A = this chain, B = another copy of it.
Amino acid sequence: MLPKMLRFHFTTLKASPFLPISKAIRYPTRLRSQMASFSSSSSSTLLFRQLFEKESSTYTYLLADASHPQKPALLIDPVDRTVDRDLSLIEQLGLKLVYAMNTHVHADHVTGTGLIKSKVPDVKSVISKASGATADLYVEPGDKVYFGNLFLEIRATPGHTKGCVTYVTGDTPGQPRMAFTGDTLLIRGCGRTDFQGGSSEQLYESVHSQIFTLPKNTLIFPAHDYKGFTVSTVGEEMQYNPRLTKDVETFKNIMANLNLSYPKMIDVAVPANMVCGIQSKTS
């Protein structure tokens, strides 16, 4: 099946910041996991920023191809409250925001995607087809979202919600990959599985088949952290995650007995996030 984005008549020229979501790797790149832009004449340079929204403890991630002439950028899991901060930073860094992506339909905050699109109309919203949510572009397992010469690969990791995906950077020798795991895999934890089509068995399978199969030095960047951690690795979580190191039956039992309270934002956030947070503008 062709990626749905083709219906939006994106240009596929190599020099465009609107590079296509594609099932094929376009060119090899040398991707550097780092936090600031610096030039690299012979390779693509990833500009990377981790941003935090304190009320919902949400991490938003900014990625850009800093060596591309137009510095195309994307945001993963933007929050409505921090859209102005994010857009201001993007402007100061001289980036061109191309995609506002979500790992899933969040239940604990309203996505900033709709607000971003109202402020920067060229930006395309991206979410998984399996989420059932409305967006400009839908991704499916194996798709690649290009920004400049860099890309994120889509891995289906349902379990927290039925439509959860993990975005993974390309494989570059000598550099760790980065996995944006949403609520599927948290640092020493995982998302709850009792709402939104959640399934503890499915989450377990997703983590073990789609995330723990990545190289052990792959950096784990979750959608949330509540203890002040900013990053982990596949190797660390395989060794120390208190839930996902257990066998599947023990894991299911843990998840069935968390006794968590009803998510306080869910009745506001989920309907809004099913339409990219647009409802938040009019409420």
Contacts and interface: CB of A to CB of B under 8 A. Distances in A.
Contact of A229 (B34, B51, B227, B232): B51
Interface in A1-49: 33-38, 49
A40 to B, nearest CB: 8
A38 B217 contact: yes
Nearest to A51: B228
Given A50-B230, A52-B230, A219 B35 contact: yes
A128 interface: no
Contacts of A38: 176, 217
Interface string A216-227: 010100000001
A281 interface: no
A230 B51 contact: yes
State the copy count for this chain.
2
Q: How large is the interface on A (under 10, 10 to 19, 20 to 34, 35 or more residues)?
A: 20 to 34
Contacts of A49: 229-231
A82 B228 contact: yes
Interface in A73-121: 82, 85, 89, 92-93
Contact of A176 (B33, B34, B51, B239): B34
A62 to B, nearest CB: 11
Interface in A44-74: 49-54, 57, 60
A236 interface: yes
B176 A228 contact: no
A228 B35 contact: no
A93 to B, nearest CB: 8
A273 interface: no
Contacts of A240: 92
Interface of A: 33-38, 49-54, 57, 60, 82, 85, 89, 92-93, 176, 217, 219, 227-233, 236, 239-240
